[in-house]
Amino acid sequence: MNETEQTNKIKILEELQKNGRASASEIAEKTGLSRQTVTKIIRNMEKKKEIWGYTAIFNPELIGKKPFIIMTKLDLSINPEEFIKKVINEKSIKLNEEKGMKISMFLHGTSDLLCLFWVKDIVEAKKTMNFYLSVLRPNIKEIELFDVMKTFRFAGIVHPNMKEEWTSLII
Q: What is the arithmetic mean of pLDDT over 150-166? A: 89
3-47 against 60-154: fold identical: no
Is residue 1's pLDDT more than 80? no
Confidence category of residue 171, pLDDT binned at 50, 70, 90 = confident
Q: What is the DSSP string of 13-54?
A: HHHHHH-TT--HHHHHHHHT--HHHHHHHHHHHHHTTSS---
Cβ proximity of 69 and 119 under 8 Å: no
CA distance linking residue 40 with residue 61, whole number of Å: 37
At 56-105, the pLDDT tens digits run 889 999 999 999 999 999 999 999 999 999 888 899 899 889 999 999 99
**Total-model pTM:** 0.86
Per-residue model confidence as pLDDT tens digits over 2-51 = 899 999 999 999 999 999 999 999 999 999 999 999 999 999 999 999 99
The H-assigned helical ranges of 64-161 are: 80-88, 90-98, 122-136
Domain ranges of the chain: 3-47, 60-154
**H or E stretch at 117:** strand 113-119
Question: Which CATH architecture best describes the domain 3-47?
Answer: Orthogonal Bundle (1.10)
**Fold entry, domain 60-154:** Alpha-Beta Plaits (3.30.70)
Return the sign of the alpha-carbon dihedral for residues 159, 160, 165, 166.
positive
119-149 residue pLDDT tens: 999 999 999 999 999 989 899 999 999 999 9
